[in-house]
Structure 1
């Protein structure tokens, strides 16, 4: 699907790197940028309704407003279509509010600064993937993000999340020069990956005129995440597309082992879908 609205969630104290990535992506595809700036109250302080606490809260809100104003000024200089919202979080995490905003976006961005903030990154993933069902582009520090990739690695395991990720990234793959459908130790059985692992998804992509190659790789004692990351480097992939596994229950977000490892070892941008 085309990415016409990109939601960029960022912390109030670290906005510059994330805004730079977001504006670059929006310029590439002519998208509207929706920025959400989040500030969080100090943990364990919300129950103390003292004059000192109220004064601190007022200062935090003023700082958040000033940050949102600075974001608007920065974006106005880039001649982009944009809107800026702000959120002050005192009790629960911001995942619900992020999910509500994500309903009206085609893609959600986790920029380098949010990537370093493990708690906020988790909240963004929860709201985006597990509440709104929107694709998430994760841009690790030091990586170069693009919505016009030449080479894509599609991590495939014949599960629903992989299929959703492939569908959400279809337009990227149609415009790419090559797509490597990559499977690690696939189970060649009718109830798993089929008698010829990767053949079904390769045929599906080929019908969209996508130049697709199926790469079957052995783990050889390495983790799936390590194999995928190294193969992405070997084929000079610009982005890894994969499904996210996990669940969200009572605001507690838990990801599966491969998803967790891919995030921990991320060197390239990852487009996750669910």
Structure 2
């Protein structure tokens, strides 16, 4: 699926670096850019603090409108096709706001500035991943961003989430010069990853014109996230495609997991889908 509409989230309290980066991505792919400018609203007051609450809301809304005007000017100067939304939800509803807007985009891109805000990062990811059915691209600080990378690694474990991530990124994979299908501690068997782990997925991708190589790696007792990240660096991958939350979110939160580890310290841009 080509990425013809790209959504990004911009905080009213951050700079323009994320917006400029995503604007460049849209220019690269001739995509439409949809921007949500947001400020988390304070929760309703309890007791006798209503006056301070109203004053805070007025300040926030004024800041939000000024930020939206600045973003609008930047988008005009960037000469990209774009639309702009301003929202002022309370924190518990941030994920719902992001999820609803993400349904009208092909991909949500979250840049380093937003990822540095733990609350916005968590809520934007939750909304985009669980409420839109579309992929998310996380771009960590210092990483080179591209929607047309030359080298892509795909973390493959035969789960439906990995399959959806591959399907969501097929257009990107077809354009890449090299795609490596990476399996860590693969398990043989029809109930697992097939008689030759990775072969079925590689054949599927090859039929779509993807230039594919299969890498089967032992973890040797190391966390899978570390193995994937290290291999991506060793192979000079520009993007890692992976399924998100193969286990329930509750289990991931309680016991950790590959998704959580990758999100906390992404070693390179991550394209994730469920």
TM bucket (normalised to shorter chain) is: over 0.9
Q: Give 1:143's aligned residue.
A: 143
Query: After the TM superposition, which residues 1-274 of structure 1 pair with which residues of structure 2 at under 5 Å, given as runs?
Result: 1-42=1-42, 46-47=45-46, 50-90=50-90, 92-245=92-245, 247=248, 257-274=257-274
Asked if 2 retains the 8 angstrom alpha-carbon contact of 1:248 and 1:254, the reply is yes
d(CA) in 2 for partners of 1:24, 1:58: 33
- CA spacing shift, 1:104–1:47, aligned 2, 3 Å: farther
- CA spacing shift, 1:91–1:210, aligned 2, 3 Å: closer
Between Structure 1 and Structure 2, the one with more strand by share is: 1
Deviation at 1:133, TM superposition (A): 1.0
How high is the TM-score relative to the length of structure 2? 0.94
**For 2:147, what is the secondary structure of its paired residue?**
coil
RMSD: 1.7
d(CA) in 1 for partners of 2:28, 2:164: 24
Deviation at 1:114, TM superposition (A): 1.2
- CA spacing shift, 1:272–1:39, aligned 2, 3 Å: same
d(CA) in 1 for partners of 2:45, 2:34: 29
Q: Which moved more, 1:145-154 or 1:33-42?
A: 33-42
d(CA) in 2 for partners of 1:221, 1:254: 21
d(CA) in 2 for partners of 1:46, 1:190: 57
Deviation at 1:254, TM superposition (A): 5.0
**Contiguous gaps of at least 5 residues in structure 1:** none
Deviation at 1:17, TM superposition (A): 1.6
Matched residue pairs, number? 270
**For 2:36, what is the secondary structure of its paired residue?**
strand
Asked if 2 retains the 8 angstrom alpha-carbon contact of 1:130 and 1:248, the reply is no
Deviation at 1:52, TM superposition (A): 2.4
d(CA) in 2 for partners of 1:228, 1:7: 27
Deviation at 1:28, TM superposition (A): 0.6
Asked if 2 retains the 8 angstrom alpha-carbon contact of 1:46 and 1:91, the reply is no
**For 1:77, what is the secondary structure of its paired residue?**
helix
Structure 1's consecutive aligned runs of 4 or more residues displaced over 6 angstroms after TM superposition are: none
d(CA) in 2 for partners of 1:111, 1:103: 19
How high is the TM-score relative to the length of structure 1? 0.94
